[in-house]
Structure 1
Amino acid sequence: MKIAVFLPNWIGDAVMATSALRALRDEFHNAEITAIQKPYVAEVLIGLDLVDHSLASGNEKSLKSQFQLLSQLRRERFDLAVLFPNSFRSACLSFLAGIPRRVGIQRDGRGWLLTDALPAGNRQVPHPAIDEYLRIVAHIIGVEQADSKPGSGLSRKMELAVTDADQQRWSSFWNKQSAEFQRHPLICLNPGGAFGAAKHWPVVNFAELAHRLATELQRSVLVVCGPAEKEEALQIVAQAKHPLVTSLADEPLHLGLTKAAIQQAELLVTTDSGPRHFAAPFDVPVVTLFGPTHIMWSETFYERGQHLQLAMDCGPCQQRVCPLGHHRCMKDLSANQVFDAVVSLLEQQQTKAA
């Protein structure tokens, strides 16, 4: 049996999809599973055994690129297409490729392109993406889907791996740090986010938090970043003004390096962005800062996670840029509030370990 799985386009969503991929792999352990995904999303699954092959989804704005992808899909002669994205494009490609069974959520007028069109939830009622992915696979294998009770239905446990190459990247960075930096427990900070400016927590707040973590908790603090957050990471380190605060900004940036760093951390403080979901697979406690986005859309029910979100009359608005121009949902979330959440979560972990 040959299965084509269209993966989500966002890094965090790809991590959330790993629980559904595991259920699919366990059910069809002899099947040949191919992921259709963006190249940067492919890095999320490296080191795992969830898929056998990968096809780049190509440039969506290029007809030539999409025809090339369609030709590849036709040549593979897949038996089943699993559509995690709700896009018309993914349904159209699987239909035109002649894949006999096509399973996905019925949205955006694409139901007629699917053989198994699952009813869509109410878009006005936030519901976890991780459960939507599980619902698709649950339909395929004929079991109960996960619901709001952790532990019921299919497992929500997410997976990630750190490869030997990732570990070498981490060792190269770590060996350049001072003996004092290496001596203390490590806390990672993850600023920014591809969603848009509205998810960003101010640099000055991150810097204040980093300074307090270093001085009051005697933690080493590492600001992880992608290319888009590089300048922000450098500013946080510069404003924190402490030898125990540094960043990955001067390293060759790679998603695997970020995974390796978070795996080594005692705790992660992050905006609601993709690397936030790296904590749960590695069983690392995480404090997530929410602003314009509703928590339930990306809820994973991770027991070692704590969410912070201010109650605002105007939100959560789900907008990439604050429509009112004040961005208070993030600006008014103080470093002191986040520091207290970090202390509380660390204390909880120490109590459980005792």
Structure 2
Amino acid sequence: MRILIIGPSWVGDMVMAQTLFQCLKQRHSECEIDVLAPEWSRPILERMPEVRAALSFPLGHGALELATRRRIGRSLKGQYDQAILLPNSLKSALVPFFAGIAKRTGWRGEFRYGLLNDVRTLDKARYPLMIERFMALAFDRGADLPTPYPRPSLRIDPLSRDAALAKFGLSLDRPVLALCPGAEFGESKRWPAEYYAEVAEMRIRQGWQVWLFGSKKDFPVGESIRERLIPGLREEASNLSGDTSLAEAIDLMSCADAVVSNDSGLMHVAAALNRPLVAVYGSTSPGFTPPLADQVEIVRLGLECSPCFERTCRFGHYNCMRQLEPAPVLEALQRVGGQPAEVV
């Protein structure tokens, strides 16, 4: 059985999509799974043993370009028995339709009747988690999901990891605290840089080193965190934001002894690497997309105005993040990160 997955457009969603791939393999052990998704997702998909091939989708998020979608679809004709669509957009249904794939499965959304022929109606109460909504597409309509749920688990190649360590001049002679202070979604997901700096300083004083991860957009906040450290401690923090590829970031994060992250794609990467993790939530909720790992601590205030799921605070105060001071995060970090070294 050959299955084409139309993948999501966000890092965290792509990581969580592995639960669908795992369910498909459990149900059809010999099935072959290819994923059509943006090129940036290749390093994630290459670390998922369930995926046979990552197929690069050349169009940006939101672009229609009907002729290109028709061309891609026709190039896939005769290759797949089923397509499963994770996005709910009309655009995402075009390639499987043009490819003439016999069974085209997805949730109802954006007038996709005719483009899909296995249309599911989502019961949000039955499937409150995103992974449940992904997993359900592996089974017949109305089937119960198997428990316990699978968890994303990214595979690391030691040679690739060691090459990344050498490239950035990093060593593992001290415990590593990974910090992920960015959030592509928006400012409402960002815990303040000064609070991250306090966490970094505490761990560095306890004998740890700090690695900062993120995209090029996150480089300034990474530098802001480093600059808040006093000379002598600042040298123990490496701002890797924007310097690493996604593949290198994944490999390096697999070395972390503990991770502190906003609700972001890198949070889900850390969970899929089963790193001890403290996840800081403000405007969003772990009730929909929680990190899935053995050692996870969720820290949030749960103010009356949150979760609002807004990119920016409609009140302008960002209290859900600004009133969440470092102490509870440090306490959570202590619980997941083991005993620190002697204070120096």
Change (3 A) 1:55 1:227: same
- Contact 1:19 1:156 (8 Å CA) reproduced: yes
The separation in 2 between residues aligned to 1:118 and 1:292, in whole angstroms, is 29
Paired residue for 2:207?
Answer: 218
> CA deviation digits over 1:247-299, x for unaligned, max 9?
214x7321122112221111110000001112233221100000111211102
Q: What one-letter code is carried by the residue in structure 1 that aligns with 2:168?
A: F
Q: What one-letter code is carried by the residue in structure 2 that aligns with 1:139?
A: D
Task: Please point out which of 103, 116, 119 is paired with 1:117.
Answer: 119
- Contact 1:126 1:296 (8 Å CA) reproduced: no
Change (3 A) 1:170 1:244: same
Moved more, 102-111 or 185-194: 102-111
When normalised by structure 2's length, the TM-score is 0.88
Give structure 1 regions of 4+ aligned residues with deviation exceeding 6 angstroms: none
Paired residue for 2:287?
Answer: 296
- Contact 1:107 1:120 (8 Å CA) reproduced: no
- Contact 1:166 1:256 (8 Å CA) reproduced: no
Paired residue for 1:104?
Answer: 106
The separation in 1 between residues aligned to 2:72 and 2:104, in whole angstroms, is 17
Paired residue for 1:165?
Answer: 160
Change (3 A) 1:187 1:50: same
- Contact 1:126 1:297 (8 Å CA) reproduced: no
The separation in 1 between residues aligned to 2:112 and 2:150, in whole angstroms, is 27
DSSP-derived class of the 1:264 partner: coil
Deviation at 1:108, TM superposition (A): 3.1
Change (3 A) 1:183 1:75: closer
Structure with the larger helix share: 1
- Contact 1:188 1:261 (8 Å CA) reproduced: no
Task: Please point out which of 251, 254, 257 is paired with 2:245.
Answer: 254
The separation in 1 between residues aligned to 2:25 and 2:176, in whole angstroms, is 34
> CA deviation digits over 1:107-150, x for unaligned, max 9?
33324432222221348x9821111111111338x96315xxxx
Deviation at 1:203, TM superposition (A): 1.0
Change (3 A) 1:203 1:262: same
The separation in 1 between residues aligned to 2:302 and 2:155, in whole angstroms, is 36
Q: What one-letter code is carried by the residue in structure 2 that aligns with 1:159?
A: S
The separation in 2 between residues aligned to 1:137 and 1:348, in whole angstroms, is 42
DSSP-derived class of the 2:228 partner: helix
Deviation at 1:189, TM superposition (A): 0.6
DSSP-derived class of the 2:92 partner: helix
The separation in 1 between residues aligned to 2:188 and 2:259, in whole angstroms, is 20
Task: Please point out which of 181, 187, 192 is paired with 2:177.
Answer: 187
Paired residue for 1:33?
Answer: 33
The separation in 1 between residues aligned to 2:127 and 2:332, in whole angstroms, is 25
Task: Please point out which of 188, 210, 231 is paired with 2:220.
Answer: 231
User: 1:56-205 counterparts in 2 under 5 A?
Assistant: 56-60=56-60, 62-64=63-65, 66-76=66-76, 77=78, 78-122=80-124, 127-139=128-140, 144-146=144-146, 151-152=147-148, 155-163=149-157, 164-175=159-170, 182-205=172-195
Is 2:20 the counterpart of 1:20?
A: yes
- Contact 1:38 1:57 (8 Å CA) reproduced: yes
The separation in 2 between residues aligned to 1:13 and 1:348, in whole angstroms, is 32
Change (3 A) 1:207 1:93: same
Q: What one-letter code is carried by the residue in structure 2 that aligns with 1:228?
A: K
- Contact 2:73 2:97 (8 Å CA) reproduced: no
> CA deviation digits over 1:79-123, x for unaligned, max 9?
210111222211233223321101111233324432222221348
Q: Percent identity?
A: 24
- Contact 1:188 1:268 (8 Å CA) reproduced: yes
RMSD: 2.5
DSSP-derived class of the 2:293 partner: coil
User: 1:318-337 counterparts in 2 under 5 A?
Assistant: 318-337=309-328
